Structure 1
Amino acid sequence: MNDESGRDACTLDAPKGRPCPFCGSSMSHRHCKYVCPEHGVVYDCSDTFW
């Protein structure tokens, strides 16, 4: 379903990913890693502190 702006309504309500601890941007989850669009890989599965 599209709204007036032409964007998909489902993507407007989609939850954001885990925030980057450095800049607060929404990170994407790839395999065993959290990747910030600005800082690259921030966490991976070998990090046991979180």
Structure 2
Amino acid sequence: MNEEAGGRPCPRCSRQLYHRHCKYVCPDHGVVYDCADTFYYD
């Protein structure tokens, strides 16, 4: 699986997000940021 810990925190719980393909995923809340979102930045 292509997954690496990212530097940004989850906006809901502040846990570290994982970068998976074009998405940032929270272990508790699932996908939080997606590259299709207009506010996405890497």
State the TM-score, normalized to the length of structure 1: 0.63
Alignment: residue pair count: 36
Q: What 5-or-longer segments of structure 2 have no aligned partner?
A: none
Instruction: Report the structure, 1 or 2, having the larger strand content.
Output: 2
Task: Tell me which of the two structures has the higher relative contact order, counting C-alpha pairs closer than 8 angstroms and 6 or more residues apart.
Answer: 2
Instruction: Report the structure, 1 or 2, having the larger helix content.
Output: 1
State the TM-score, normalized to the length of structure 2: 0.73
CA RMSD of aligned residues (A): 1.8
